[in-house]
Structure 1
Amino acid sequence: DTQWEVPENASASAKSWAEKGYSWQTRLWIDDMYMIPIIQMHAYKVTGDMKYVERAAKEMEMYLDKLQRSNGLFYHASDAPYFWGRGNGWVAAGMVEILRHLSESSPYYLRILQGFQTMMASLKRYQTEEGMWRQLIDKSDCWIETSGSAMFAYAFITGVKYGWLSMKEYGEAARKAWLSMLTYINPDGKVREVCVGTNKKDDMQYYYDRRRNTGDYHGQAPYLWCTVALLE
């Protein structure tokens, strides 16, 4: 609830977003589209109150309109115009979580589904020959990044499972991603080539130069999401 309850010391910008019915935590960074929806979806699971799903969906619709580009992908922020892998992964996973619980009769359902399908079609085009995705998705000289790749694979797997994506078109792409992901797991179960936590920055080289971790939870978690989705 505190994501919608404006604190007294909130900025004028935060208060302005709240007055429009959005979370005062709104920043128009793509990271937000996991950080806000995932809390709201857990609140829904605990309470059964659809208000949590609906307000997360309202937020997602606005982010789609503001940040999704013509190629289906998302800038990190309006002033950081780069298609950062894990940032786009946050959006993909956030849409999956909302669509799993949002009623098809909701005024936001078709818009989010369309945004999801547009993004997935673009990701399929940018999937590398080995099945992974890059730190900057559209840059062929950028390094392979595992946390974003795992989030995209999770979106493919879940999209096929729920019928939002064609099995024929996306099933093999999901399998290809999963099999490639396995090659990035060390013998002790730690995932390598995981981008460290990353703030937005209007500097392309900044994203190229981000440190690559092994065993970072940003990578471990989405690998487990895929495992659970496949086991289900």
Structure 2
Amino acid sequence: MPKRARIRSLFSQMVVCAFLCAGTALPTVAQQKYFSNFPDQADPKAVGAKVAARFVASEHLRPVVVYPEVCAWYGALTFAEATHNAALLQQLQARFEPLTRPPLNELVPDKEHVDYEIFGVVPLQISMETGDSVTRQLGLRFADRQWAHPQSDGLSGQTRFWIDDMYMLTVLQLEAYRATKDAKYLDRAAHEMTAYLRKLQQPNGLFYHAEDVPFFWGRGNGWVAAGMTEMLLTLPASHPDRAEILAGYRKMMAELARNQNADGMWRQLIDKPESWEESSSTGMFTFAMIEGVRHGWLTEETYGPVARRAWIALAGFVDQHGDVTNICVGTNKQNSYDYYLGRPRSTGDFHGQAPVMWAARALLESAQ
């Protein structure tokens, strides 16, 4: 072998070794094909940075900080970490500090309910970035309170079998596990997820909003997709619940791919062609599929184009201010087709801002 070729070969081996020793998967050809070379307006780093900057400039929700802001905050924190943006991380951490003392500590929720307890995700994520034990303990207080009054079957006392909870209940427990490595948090999340899968997943792979509400609401299913994705990112291969969750995830992704609009978006009611295009659900499904392709849970050549098309379409719903448009407002469950189809649309709502940052981060990590 010529000397120059030997040098190139040795260099390639060193690069592969560096990735493997770091526990990082090399980007595949399909990932490089589908998750790179985006149009300028869909560059994930630029889009994510714009939406994150918009979050930094936003006001807190009132009267207390609840799940939409928490999910956007989590998205901004993890995006900042993925892009090694120390300035953004500092701004996001500085946003939290005033909530630890009067008068803004009144914005910290103190109610045993899934929409409130998820607040603990923010201090837990910050504690993993800073190493601060006081912040970690604050987050764990919320995670432990989710199971303060467990049901006889081991599920959280806050279980209500709305599909939104497949994210709200599980992601806080996952963050507690990530921060402590205490397996009880991981097992709680997995047990909750499998219970919801068995009760709410329909034969086509999608999920009714609740047992008594037979509609495939977009963002509700988005919470499911994102929740299962977060679970699969953390559950070890040896965990007894992983196979069931992975099967439910794949079944859902297959049906979502069949229901994607030609332009890449998904709809307010997923299976209703007359329904309007909705951005928060599209962001959540995009995030879930990117991670699926990236980690080998999904076939690259099948789902790579679906995820790419979705991201490019979604980026078109981010305006020049970093506000996401066409977001379904907060939605209760109701057994009414007209109710879901007639929900108002919002711009800049945290429900839609959050998943754009999740998806942007996943794209950037897939290319590393």
Query: Structures share a fold, TM > 0.5?
Result: yes
Q: Could you tell me which residue of structure 2 aligns to residue 146 of structure 1? A: 279
* Structure 1 residue 40: Cα displacement: 0.4
Question: Aligned partner of 2:326: which letter?
Answer: E
Q: Distance in 1 between matches of 2:239 and 2:362?
A: 25
Q: Could you tell me which residue of structure 2 aligns to residue 38 of structure 1? A: 171
Residue 203, structure 1, aligned to residue 346, structure 2: no
Residue 105, structure 1, aligned to residue 238, structure 2: yes
User: Contact conserved, 1:144 with 1:193, CA < 8 A, in 2?
Assistant: yes
Q: Distance in 2 between matches of 1:204 and 1:79?
A: 13
Residue 21, structure 1, aligned to residue 154, structure 2: yes
- 1:32-89 deviations in whole A, cap 9, x for unaligned? 0000011101101111112111111111111111000011000000111100000000
* Structure 1 residue 103: Cα displacement: 1.6
Residue 172, structure 1, aligned to residue 325, structure 2: no
* Structure 1 residue 155: Cα displacement: 0.4
Residue 49, structure 1, aligned to residue 182, structure 2: yes
Q: Could you tell me which residue of structure 2 aligns to residue 11 of structure 1? A: none
Q: Could you tell me which residue of structure 2 aligns to residue 12 of structure 1? A: none
After TM superposition, list the pairs within 5 Å mapping 1:1-232 onto structure 2. Answer: 1-6=144-149, 18-232=151-365
Question: Aligned partner of 1:38: which letter?
Answer: V
Structure 1 gap ranges (5+): 7-14
Question: Aligned partner of 2:212: which letter?
Answer: D
Question: Aligned partner of 2:173: which letter?
Answer: Q
SS at match of 2:222: helix
List, as ranges, runs of 4+ consecutive aligned residues in structure 1 with deviation greater than 4 Å. none
Q: Distance in 1 between matches of 2:240 and 2:195?
A: 13
User: Contact conserved, 1:34 with 1:94, CA < 8 A, in 2?
Assistant: yes
* Structure 1 residue 153: Cα displacement: 0.3
User: Contact conserved, 1:30 with 1:88, CA < 8 A, in 2?
Assistant: yes
- 1:73-120 deviations in whole A, cap 9, x for unaligned? 000001111000000000000001111111211111100000000000
Aligned residues: 222
* Structure 1 residue 202: Cα displacement: 0.6
Q: Distance in 1 between matches of 2:254 and 2:245?
A: 14
Q: Distance in 2 between matches of 1:109 and 1:189?
A: 36
- 1:108-134 deviations in whole A, cap 9, x for unaligned? 110000000000000000000000100
Q: Distance in 2 between matches of 1:102 and 1:186?
A: 36
Question: Aligned partner of 1:2: which letter?
Answer: R
* Structure 1 residue 187: Cα displacement: 1.1
- Larger relative helix fraction: 2
- Find the structure with the greater CA-based Rg: 2
RMSD: 0.8
Question: Aligned partner of 1:48: which letter?
Answer: K
User: Contact conserved, 1:73 with 1:88, CA < 8 A, in 2?
Assistant: yes
User: Contact conserved, 1:54 with 1:102, CA < 8 A, in 2?
Assistant: no
Structure 2 gap ranges (5+): 1-143
